[in-house]
Chain A
Amino acid sequence: MKITPSARKLILGLLFTAPFTIGFLAFTVYPLLASFYYSFTQYSILTPPKWIGLQNYATLFMHDDLFWTSLGNTLFFICLAVPLGLTTSFVIALALNQRVRGMSIYRTIFFLPTLVPSVALAILWLWIFNPQSGMMNWLFELVGLPSLGWLGDINLAKPSLVLMSLWSTGGTIVIFLAGLQDVPGQLYEAADIDGANRLQKVWFITIPMMTPVILFNLITGIIGGFQYFTEAFIMTNGGPINATLFYALYLYRNGFQYVKMGYASAMAWILFVIVLSCTLAIFRTSRAWVYYGASR
């Protein structure tokens, strides 16, 4: 049989992409579909799954108050951590975009915390938050504020974790920084000629030009927020009184501690739908506020 050059090219191309394609099918697509199937079953990992229809979903929505607690905790965290994280990293990126001597050192300093493994970071922050001997209360007392219970306080546990999340915004800062350097210089020159001040330049030039980058960081921030796990797992294990029981932590408990993999799969799919709708909603609104330089 003769192979035409174009068919040959196609086969070669497929062969070259095969490692990825096979890996993707076996380790991403299949598990994804399988977990969808398992979400309709009672599945304890080692025994064959038993079809129970929508029962997992019904239990989650109607009977499981911890499901709602964990979802509420996660949304609370996202609503606080994402805007704060974006603002902080944007401001830091602006500062790091100045032409000052030794700038690369400053940039390195702000990126370094991101390189600390999250587990080490969690242990470090356990010390910082220690109400008796921790740095936070030491600082508070220095300026005459009352010391707080931080992670042990049911009202403060989540805000404490939000505060901690600002520590590792290095990745976001780098993305913002790259975006900032793409803002055309002539726009600022034109603004200078028109007599605009610094704040006006940020508001009328930098922010509009940066909206695609903000959109990207917003979406990845929200997705990351929904998957928030490590710190809560290590530092608080969901406590006090489930105040830091986040969605991923509760999913983990169900799947691996209570061996209710079907139930955990249902939770994963609900999370998927929530994340998908959030992302779609943001994309919808983005038409109104995101400016793409190329599509005039």
Chain B
Amino acid sequence: MATRSGKLISRRKALQAVAVGAVGAFLEACASVPQTGGTSTSNTSTAATAGTTSVTTAPPSAGAVTLDFWQPFGDIIGKEMDTLVKTWNDKNPNIQVKASFTPNVTSAGSNPKFLAASLGGNPPDIFVHDGSSLSTSAAINAFTPLDDLVKSSGLKPETYFKFAWDKTQWNGKTYALPLNTDARALYTNRKLLKEAGIDKPPTTIDELDAAADKLTKKSGDRFAQLGVIPWIGNWFLVGWGWDFGAKLWDAAQNKISLNAPEMVKALEWEVGYAKKYGVTQLQNFQSGFGSGANDPFIKGQVAMVLTGDWVIANLAQYAPDLEYDITPAPYPTGAHAMTWSGGFVMGIPNGSKHVDAAWKFISWLTSTEAETSFAQAAKVLPCNVDAAKSIAASDPLHKVFIDLLPSAFIEPVIPEWSMAWDQHVAAEQAAILLQKTPQQALDEANAKVQEAIDQRVKGG
């Protein structure tokens, strides 16, 4: 890209890029397609269609800059993002934005394509990063700190939800602006609950357990319907852990607590379901679940599921007649309603030649005006508080989630989180399949992640 780069990249950088690229090329030859399903912590990280869309309309005048904007959204959300970019381009002939669809290859962690471009000294001007792993990339200087720009532009962190702002921080600096988020809650099938004689969705864990028993039906030795399976949907062990009161990260001590007593308790409670219903039978039932129109909640295979706000759009598309309620996740007696949130953040990569122009664009994209229209059209949750308020006023289903956002938990902002996530998923599986006790599985996972953290802290 000779037209875009002002100076030549150093030979050392170029060769490093080649080396990293070669490893990537080997692996990419093996798999060059985004992962679908799996343990994605966010619904929007993968997309069905690949390709590049560029949106440029107004003729750029002399002195105009073109910003390279890499964003991971496909489908409807991608289309709405393109619409937003077009709106910007029409209004700002001197700062034209070229949006490129860059799907995330993995559910969490850095994006290989972005890393290779950064190493080659030719990163995009704006990169939309998975929010839960921004610190992984920030810790290796992939992004420009934005604190001076935040200060000089008068942008107030309170514009966004606190949890969303917290996600953009690393080592006392701001590395991104929050773009969109998500939240999780309990979906219940109104008809099935009524049939089982339950008049309102459960609010506590005890009520959930009782409802689950009433809603579980067998035909022969097979399940015909289950009330709830704690580990399906999009809640995960961390969700139950926070729900049970766990604190996963102690920033002052640099200590991770995947094995906090409340995490162990939550996992023991999950294992209770595995034991009650039988591991093999549950597995067989569970692996028959489909997606899209064959989603187990739509098919009535499970009456209650803990999952994210994006499911509203899926249900509207595949089961417009299904009657359901959305309520906060059940919590132990004495606790209160909560949720946990992922989502995406937007940063300016180190090496961008148009930092000021990029800042103008991203601060506009996270403004109340842009966030409101984006969230409304794409059915995502905004991080901008005022935008969220106006969505909540007009959309009762999303309101349930938006009302929970002030109490949202986020995944610990540490570069090792991607690894911790994999470890915690494997520990949850090992316990549910009765291979390890919850305590043992979580102790082992925690030790492993703590070792990686210690190594970083020690290394400076």
Contact = CB atoms under 8 A, between A and B. Distances in A.
Given A256-B115, A264-B23, A237 B35 contact: yes
Interface stretch (B89-97, B148-156, B238-246, B413-421): B413-421
Q: Can you list the 6 inter-chain pairs with the closest CB atoms, starting with the nearest?
A: A132-B288, A257-B109, A31-B22, A34-B19, A229-B30, A46-B140
Contacts of B365: none
Interface in A42-96: 42, 44-47, 50, 63
A47 B141 contact: yes
Contacts of B283: 131, 149, 152-153
Interface stretch (A12-20, A22-30, A283-291): A22-30
A45 B106 contact: no
A234 B31 contact: yes
B196 interface: no
A68 B30 CA distance: 22
A226 to B, nearest CB: 12
Interface of A: 26-28, 30-32, 34-35, 38, 42, 44-47, 50, 63, 118-119, 130-133, 147, 149-154, 227, 229-230, 233-234, 237-242, 248, 251-253, 255-259, 261, 264-265, 268
B33 A45 contact: no
Nearest to B222: A132
Given A239-B429, A256-B24, A259-B136, A149 B280 contact: yes
Given A229-B27, A256-B110, A63 B33 contact: no
A47 to B, nearest CB: 5
B49 to A, nearest CB: 14
A256 B109 contact: yes
B16 A259 contact: no
Interface of B: 15-16, 18-24, 26-27, 30-33, 35-36, 38-39, 105-106, 108-110, 112, 115, 118-119, 136-137, 139-142, 280, 283-290, 350, 415-416, 418-419, 422, 425-426, 429-430, 433, 435, 451-452, 459
Contacts, number: 142
Nearest to B14: A26
B22 A28 contact: yes
Contact of B20 (A42, A45, A150, A234): A45
A227 B285 CA distance: 33
A119 B24 CA distance: 17
Contact of B418 (A31, A38, A257, A261): A257
Given A31-B18, A239-B425, A258-B416, A46 B142 contact: yes
B435 to A, nearest CB: 6
Contact of A268 (B23, B32, B416): B23
A130 B139 CA distance: 41
Nearest to B110: A259
Given A47-B141, A258-B418, A237 B22 contact: no
Contacts of B451: 63
Contacts of B289: 132
A257 B106 contact: yes
Nearest to A255: B23
Contacts of A256: 24, 27, 105-106, 109-110, 112, 115
Nearest to B451: A63
A261 B20 contact: yes
